[in-house]
Amino acid sequence: MTARTARPPLLRELLLVAGLFLAYKLGRTLAAGHTAEAFRNARHLWDLERAVRLPGEGGVQSLLLHGDGLVRLANTYYATVHFPATAAFLVWLYLRRPAHYVWARRVLAAVTAAALVVHLAFPLAPPRMLTPTGLVDTARVFGPSVYGPPESDQLSNQFAAMPSLHFGWAVMVAVGLIVATRTRWRWLWLLHPLLTLLVIVGTANHYWLDALVAAVLLGLALLTVHAPRRAASTVRRGGGTLARAGAGALARAGR
């Protein structure tokens, strides 16, 4: 794949992305209903994190709870940034970097499909539902919340904490923009996944290991779906320019 790939047909891409989203939502619905297993897995995961001495999620949450405004801002970030940021990323790539768009779409599809398999195989209650964590469900207490009561929520599977697609997609947005652009400021895009990590942990929607597994799945997808060879195409274009310039010089010398 080169950076000069033609832009894919818009209608096809809209149908493809919409189809992938609907398939994922349906898959999450099929994965729901495993309440006892999800809580059992949550207790085991919580014990594992303590056994390997990962920092407590409560340390991040305590920072948010210093002020109502800060915790509401974190809840709002969790509720509103995830999908729009990813959609804006794909739209920008589609319009400005078609080859990078195809690559990013394939990577995101691979990560999302792998995440769905994990959701089906390993239902997991988030830390906000697990009493022994001592964590606060910040969205329910302070708002805004995107979830209803687990027993009546038909729009989402709240037992799909592992892996965190909030984090996995945020990392891909940062990686994609770093790869697709050349500005010296492009590394600041890493602030997006960093902030997302602090938000998903601080609001007690995810464990540290949820983010780690998402990062591993993304890494595997990036190893499998190769990025456009922009540098190589640039070298070839530069070589062609030099060749044409040399030919022109020889022609002028022969006159």
Q: What number of helices (H) and strands (E) belong to the chain?
A: 11, 0
Residue 249 lies in a domain: no
Q: What does the pLDDT read at residue 194?
A: 97
- List the chain residues with pLDDT less than 50: 1-3, 152, 231-255
User: What is the token pair recorded at 57?
Assistant: 């999620």
Domains of the chain: total: 1
Q: Taking each helix axis as running N to C, give the angle between helix 191-202 and helix 165-180, from 0 to 180 degrees, rounded to the nearest 10.
A: 170
Q: CB count, 10 Å around CB of 150?
A: 16
In degrees rounded to 5, what are phi and psi of residue 124?
Answer: -145, 125
pLDDT of residue 253: 41
Domain presence at residue 243: no
C-beta of residue 1 within 8 angstroms of C-beta of residue 105: no
* pTM of the predicted model as reported, rounded to 2 decimal places: 0.84
Q: What is the pLDDT of residue 6?
A: 76
pLDDT score for 33:
65
Residue 253 covered by a domain:
no
**Are 87 and 211 in contact, with CB atoms under 8 Å apart?**
no
Domain extent at residue 168: 13-236
How is residue 35 written in tokens? 């309440």
